[in-house]
Amino acid sequence: MQQLTFLAPGQFEWRDVPAPTLRADTDAIVAPIAVARCDLDFYIATGFVSYPGPFAFGHETVGRVVEAGPAAGVAPGDVVIVPFQLSCGRCGACRRGFTNACEAYPFAAAYGLKPTSKTEFGGALSDLMYVPFADHMLVRVPDGVGPEVAANVSDNIADGWRGVAGPLQQRPGASVLVVAGLAQSVGLYAAGAAVALGAGRVLYLDDDAGRRARAAALGAEAEPLALDGGRTPDAQFEIVVEAAGNEAALAFAVHSCAPNGVMTSVAIHFGAATPVPLTRAYYKGLTFHTGRVHSRATFPEALACIACGKLHPEHVTHRIVPFAEAIDAMTDPGPKVIFTR
Ligand SMILES: [Zn+2]
Ligand SMILES: [Zn+2]
């Protein structure tokens, strides 16, 4: 079968690799039909983040089941979400909802991201994917939700969702600030989720005018971040999401957080050490979250919100192209490319 393979920044090729086969009763084989480009994929493709190739690429997936073991819980023809992280659903970590660190797999095991776990699990931009523990992993796409709309619910949408959903459950109607930038689509999904979940004020700050227009379409107030212009926090927010990925924006986010507020950093800060205004955070009593999303444990709530018509990830998508154009589109600077087949 064909598999898109990342070689080096700007260099991909479609390689012939052996097709996966069922190995256990709970396995399934899935043919991807809609794959979203993760925010991280863009930075790997362009070389901003250094991941050594070669490895199979793509990890945000909706697919059609083509083969299923007798205990896989799905049947050929089912259209399903494939979580980007592998998890068993049975171990202690999975039972606690910590599906980003399943004990059955090497730490940080994921499709399309071999360097994070040093193990190749295959990628989504392939003819077929091997899915173990399918009875736990796979979730059917609800009727009325298009594959291209749900394509990145298992990763970037869930990632934005977790920054606001839990905090809003504890503080219904609270105000939300999104400091946006590097994690292009995750910040937008956080803003959209905050609106969908009935937050009070939702302010989205981003220096990119195109993304600001998308945030406005999602129902948020959108303004330039303008830290270069010396902007200082002009309001305090109970819930803050930092998706900008730079020190100045991280500090701005801390200073914008209300006393006893909750802040989630969803951008990956790639420097060896990132300064944080910890004294300020201490006196405010901030709760600070960061880390990889728990894909399987988190995305069904976001999927349900899409299915009920409140969350509209399609406002973030700027381009839909066939799989065959994936290499060219991988370095498109826009916020979200979806590949379909
Ligand atoms: Zn991702
Ligand atoms: Zn597990």
Same domain for 131 and 10: yes
The alpha carbon of 341 and the centre of ligand 1 are apart by a number of angstroms equal to 20
Return the half-sphere exposure (C-beta side, CA atoms, 13 A cut-off) of residue 42.
19
Same domain for 276 and 260: yes
Same domain for 277 and 226: yes
Question: Do the beta carbons of residue 180 and residue 188 sit within 8 Å?
Answer: yes
Same domain for 308 and 178: no
Question: Into how many domains does the chain fold?
Answer: 2
The alpha carbon of 98 and the centre of ligand 2 are apart by a number of angstroms equal to 8
- What is the CA angle 240-110-272, rounded to 5? 55
Same domain for 186 and 165: yes
Ligand number nearest CA of 186 is 1
Domain CATH number, residue 162: 3.40.50.720
Same domain for 303 and 272: no
Rg of the chain, C-alpha, whole Å: 19
- Under 8 Å CB-to-CB from 11, ≥6 apart: which residues? 53
Ligand number nearest CA of 132 is 2
The alpha carbon of 285 and the centre of ligand 1 are apart by a number of angstroms equal to 30
Question: Do the beta carbons of residue 240 and residue 177 sit within 8 Å?
Answer: yes
Ligand number nearest CA of 91 is 2
Distances (CA, A) of 27 to 71, 88, 96: 8, 11, 23
The alpha carbon of 39 and the centre of ligand 1 are apart by a number of angstroms equal to 6
Largest CA distance in the chain: 61
Query: Can you say whether the dihedral through the CA atoms of 118, 246, 193, 263 is positive or negative?
Result: positive
Distance CA 30, CA 25 (A): 15
Residue 237's pLDDT is 98
Q: Are strands 202-205 and 221-223 parallel, antiparallel or unpaired?
A: parallel
Adjacency order of strands within the sheet including 176-179: 221-223, 202-205, 176-179, 237-242, 257-265, 287-290
Burial category of 205 from C-beta neighbours within 10 Å (exposed 0-12, middle 13-18, buried 19 and up): buried
Distance CA 296, CA 272 (A): 29
Same domain for 105 and 216: no
The alpha carbon of 89 and the centre of ligand 2 are apart by a number of angstroms equal to 5
Distance CA 76, CA 280 (A): 55
The alpha carbon of 290 and the centre of ligand 2 are apart by a number of angstroms equal to 21
Same domain for 273 and 192: yes
Ligand number nearest CA of 116 is 1
The alpha carbon of 279 and the centre of ligand 1 are apart by a number of angstroms equal to 32
Same domain for 145 and 15: yes
The alpha carbon of 61 and the centre of ligand 1 are apart by a number of angstroms equal to 10
Ligand number nearest CA of 90 is 2
* Protein residues within 5 Å, CB atom, of ion ligand 1: 38, 40, 155
Same domain for 182 and 270: yes
- Domain boundary among the residues 269, 290, 311 is at 290
- Tell me the whole-structure pTM to 2 decimals: 0.97
The alpha carbon of 146 and the centre of ligand 1 are apart by a number of angstroms equal to 20
Same domain for 169 and 131: no
Residue 271's pLDDT is 86
Same domain for 169 and 150: no
* Protein residues within 5 Å, CB atom, of ion ligand 2: 87-88, 91, 94, 102, 104
Ligand number nearest CA of 84 is 1
- Domain boundary among the residues 274, 290, 306 is at 290
Domain CATH number, residue 79: 3.90.180.10
The alpha carbon of 137 and the centre of ligand 2 are apart by a number of angstroms equal to 10
- Domain boundary among the residues 267, 290, 313 is at 290
Q: How many CB atoms lie within 10 A of CB 333?
A: 10
The domain of 272 spans: 156-290
What string of pLDDT tens digits covers the 341 residues of the chain?
999 999 999 999 999 999 999 999 999 999 999 999 999 999 999 999 999 999 999 999 999 999 999 999 999 999 999 999 999 999 999 999 999 999 999 999 999 999 999 999 999 999 999 999 999 999 999 999 999 999 999 999 999 999 999 999 999 999 999 999 999 999 999 999 999 999 999 999 999 999 999 999 999 999 999 999 989 998 999 999 999 999 999 999 999 999 999 999 999 999 889 999 999 999 999 999 999 999 999 999 999 999 999 999 999 999 999 999 999 999 999 999 999 99
